Amino acid sequence: MKTLALIVALLISNFFTNAQENINGITITVTVPNATSSEGEVLFGLYDENTFMKAAPIKGEKSIITDGVAKITFTNVPAGVYAISCFHDINGNNRMDFEPNGMPKENYGVSNNSMSYGPPMWGEAKFEVTSENLELEIRM
C-alpha cells in the first residue's frame, strides 16, 4: 500500500512539474557551428511575424565564439510562430554593418538556413513553437 501511495504521489508531482514548464514557456537553444573567427560576438534575435526585419526582436541574446561555435538559449518562449536571425558582430558595435551597395559586411543567418538572394523572408525562416523544447542550428 505504501508503494502504491508513493507511485501516485510521484505521478502527481510529475504532472505539476510538467504543467509548470508549459506555463513558463519553451526553451529554444540555438547553435551556430561555423563562425569564421573568434573575434566579436554573435548576436541573436527572436522575432514574430510583426517584428521580423522591421523592429527590435522580442528577445535578444549574445554569444561569445569558442572554436568557431556560438550558442545561446532563449527561455520562457510562449507557444507561437517565430523566426530567429543572427549575425557575427566582428567590430562590437551591436549592429549589422553594410557595404555602400547594401550588401552585408558581416556574416549572418536565419532559422531554417534559407539563404536566398536579398533579405531574409518570414515565410522561409519561420518555425512553430508548441509544447517541446527546441534545438536549432543556424549556419552563417
Rounded to two decimals, what is the model's pTM? 0.81
pLDDT number for residue 6? 29
Task: Provide the CB-side half-sphere exposure for 17 (13 A, CA).
Answer: 6
- Residue ranges for the chain with pLDDT beneath 50: 1-22
Domains of the chain with CATH codes: 25-137 (2.60.40)
pLDDT tens digits for 63-76?
999 999 999 999 99
Q: Give the number of other Cβ atoms within 10 Å of residue 120's Cβ.
A: 20
Q: Give the number of other Cβ atoms within 10 Å of residue 86's Cβ.
A: 25
Q: What is the rounded distance in angstroms from the CA atom of residue 137 to the CA atom of residue 124?
A: 15
pLDDT number for residue 23? 57
pLDDT number for residue 24? 67
Q: What pairs with residue 129 in β-bridges? A: 80
pLDDT number for residue 114? 85
pLDDT number for residue 59? 98
pLDDT number for residue 18? 43
Distances (CA, A) of 10 to 6, 18, 22, 23, 106: 6, 12, 19, 20, 51
